[in-house]
Amino acid sequence: MTKQIRIIAIAALLSYALSFPPAFSQSKNDAKEIYLTTLGIDKPYEIIKLVSYRSSLLETSKVIGELKKQGIELGADYIIGIQFYSHSGYLYGTGTAVRLLEDKPR
């Protein structure tokens, strides 16, 4: 029971921290940035794909890193609506990879 409370507390703190873009910057070797948020964004976008990861380590940083990696591979600008939960000793993370729509000249 206390393990679940700790996970919920960590997820709540992480959710708060992720609400301030840029939440995480891209790897040193690549100039592309991807932003992660538990919320939506106020910019026009297209959905690319749902992303998810399951980790036997109860470390949110591992799950965040894998979600970010999947988003970069898909060419996403953001991973939005990120959620974390635990079940049967695993930590799960899910989100939606999206690409911003460029403004079209009129």
pLDDT band of residue 105 (cuts 50, 70, 90) is low
Q: Please give the average per-residue pLDDT across 61-66, as a whole number.
A: 93
> Taking a C-beta distance cutoff of 8 angstroms, is the pair 19, 38 a contact?
yes
Q: What is the mean pLDDT of residues 15-21?
A: 53
Distance of CA 98 to the CA centre of its chain: 11
Spans of all domains in the chain: 2-100
| pLDDT score for 6 | 67
- Tell me which architecture the domain covering 2-100 has in CATH: 2-Layer Sandwich (3.30)
Name the range with the highest mean pLDDT among 17-21, 37-41, 94-98. 94-98
pLDDT top residue among 4 and 39: 39
Instruction: Tell me the C-alpha distance between 69 and 10, whole Å.
Output: 21
Residues pairing with 41 in the sheet: none
CB within 8 A of 75, min separation 6: which ones?
Answer: 48, 99
CA gap 38, 29 in Å, rounded: 26
Tokens of 82: 């990120």
Q: What does 18-56 look like in DSSP terms, one character per residue?
A: HTSS-SSPPPTT-----EE-SS--SS-EEEEEEEEEEES
The edge-to-edge listing of strands for the beta sheet with 35-36 is 35-36, 78-87, 90-100, 45-55
User: In the predicted model, is pLDDT for residue 43 greater than 50?
Assistant: yes
